[in-house]
A and B are shown apart, each in its own frame.
Chain A
Amino acid sequence: MIIDLHVHHCLSAEPRTDFAAMERLKRVAKAVGISHVCLLGNVFRYGIRASREGIRKINDSTIALVRRDPGFVSGFCFINPTLPRAVIREEVQRCVRAGLSGVKLEIDLNARDRRMRHLMEAAADLDVPVLHHAWYKSHEKYPHESDPSDIADLARRFPACRIIMAHVVAAGVRGVLDVAECKNVMVDTSGSQPVAGMVEYAVRMLGADRVVFGSDVCGRDFSCQLGKVLGAELKASDRRKVLYDNARKVLKLEGGKR
């Protein structure tokens, strides 16, 4: 059993009707043994700092896909944290009631920004994790993009909130060290090419309980990203935590299914 906690459904202009694309994605995932995926939304569908309406459409699409195939699909709601507090709270509540399991944040607002408070408080109140993009870039950095030190700052400000820092391979050694003392932070294994040694390093420094498999499909490949974990020098019990146990707890799945 393998759960992929970081999947984007890059759907067409009419996302609610694009179930065929999801079926194709499912076939590709199943072919390499992935039994469950967590959809994070088509996050760039309406650009950076998408409007309330755009966010709602993205989340409606995720909700529709989760409801259609709950045995294979879980989902997080996507939020633009620069939206007004009431809008954020209402949308997170709506999505959680509809069956989504967490919140995904991208590059709309840097994690150090004070405005993050509204979203983080809503997530803590609803007891759902926040999966946040992070990347150490020396090149092509987006204006509000967060790096792992920003995530560490966020985690310290909101210790009651569970945070999953995306892209540990792109965070690198420095990024892992940034969040090592923040016990409310897990990392996912996605990010960049399958750089050798990073999964092992994350497990060594954070413990296997704090590392979870994520592929970042559809920009990446299930097979290659999974191979990064299968090819890592890990104890079998640690590999199982990374590939399955940790995500199952995050998604509150029973026996790998909703």
Chain B
Amino acid sequence: MIIDVNASLGNWPFQRFALRTAGQLDRHFAGLGIDQAWVSSADAILCPDIDACDEELAKHLRTYPRLRMVPTINPVLANWAKSLDKWAGRGVHAVKVYPNYHQYSLSSPMMCEVARQVASRRMVLQVQMRVEDERGMYAPLRISGVSVEDVAKLAQNVPEAAIIALCPYYREAVQLAAKAPKVMVDLSFIEACDTVKTLLRDVPAGRVVFGSHTPFLCTRAELMKIEAAKVTQRELRRIREANVRSLFSLSVDTK
């Protein structure tokens, strides 16, 4: 089984996606053997009315059980707690935050409160460290990546939070492993020669999860990182699915 923790549906002004509907996304993942994909609204990154974007996403995903809704929470908005209540009530298992696009610090008191409330509902908190390679961003909209220090501080401030850092670079994943021992990282932006085997020398297998960052990135390319990995079956299984499952029962040893 493969669980992809990092997918989106919607529009992005700087890229024309080929996968534009839930049906296309579902067929695409099915064809590649991805059994479950966690999907957020790409529109919610820049659109001020996040709740409307997420309601639309929920409507689109309703008939595709493979695609699991991950709503976006922006603690700067006055309605964030109501939104979180609503989505928790509808059974979502994770929420996503975009601190640098929504302009707040992960160590701010309001973000700590979000993390505490997410943890108290036994949900996973996804921190999107970046959406695009900073070097190629549209120049007037240059958004720096979320720093490793900020993610580590959040993990320290709210130790009960189950956090997945999405789209860290290789060096950031290694730094996170040292500074925030419980935080998991997805593979989407991590690349080196023989990616997974190399990464597991620096980051425990229990800390790595599969994320493709579809449709921004090519899913097949991301999958090939794990298909080509010369690591043990146990390690691969952890990356493909077991680590994600363990997040819902934090007593599981992640070493």
Residues of A within 8 A of B (CB): 25, 28, 31-32, 135-141, 170, 172, 192-197, 200, 217-228, 230-233
Q: A138-B138, A195-B15, A217-B193 are in contact. Are A223 and B225 (CB under 8 A)?
A: yes
B224's contact among A170, A217, A223, A232, by CB below 8 Å, is which? A223
Q: Closest Cβ of chain A: how far from B216's Cβ, in Å?
A: 6
B203-237 contacts to A (CB < 8 Å): 213-225, 227-228, 230
B193 touches A227 (CB 8 A): no
Encode contact with A along B130-148: 1 for CB under 8 Å, 0 otherwise: 0001111111001000000
Answer whether residue B188 sits at the interface, using C-beta atoms and an 8 A cutoff.
Answer: yes
B17's contact among A31, A170, A196, A228, by CB below 8 Å, is which? A196
A139 touches B135 (CB 8 A): yes
Answer whether residue B160 sits at the interface, using C-beta atoms and an 8 A cutoff.
Answer: no
Q: CB-CB < 8 A to B224: which residues of A?
A: 32, 223-224, 226-227, 230
Q: CB-CB < 8 A to B138: which residues of A?
A: 138
Q: A221-B195, A227-B223 are in contact. Are A192 and B218 (CB under 8 A)?
A: no
A196's contact among B194, B218, B228, by CB below 8 Å, is which? B218
Chain B minimum-CB-distance residue to A33: B228
Q: CB-CB < 8 A to B16: which residues of A?
A: 197
B230's contact among A31, A138, A228, A231, by CB below 8 Å, is which? A31
Interface residues on B, range: 35 or more
Residues of B within 8 A of A (CB): 15-19, 133-139, 142, 188-189, 191-195, 213-225, 227-228, 230
Interchain CA distance A124-B19 in the complex, whole Å: 43
A228's contact among B142, B215, B218, by CB below 8 Å, is which? B218
B191 touches A221 (CB 8 A): yes
Given contacts A192-B135, A196-B15, A222-B193, 8 further A-B contacts (CB under 8 A): A135-B135, A194-B221, A195-B217, A196-B214, A221-B225, A223-B194, A224-B224, A227-B224
A194 touches B217 (CB 8 A): yes
A28 touches B222 (CB 8 A): no
Chain A minimum-CB-distance residue to B134: A139
Would you list 11 pairs from A and B whose C-beta atoms are within 8 A, ordered by A residue?
A135-B136, A137-B135, A138-B135, A139-B142, A192-B133, A220-B191, A224-B222, A227-B220, A227-B225, A228-B218, A231-B219
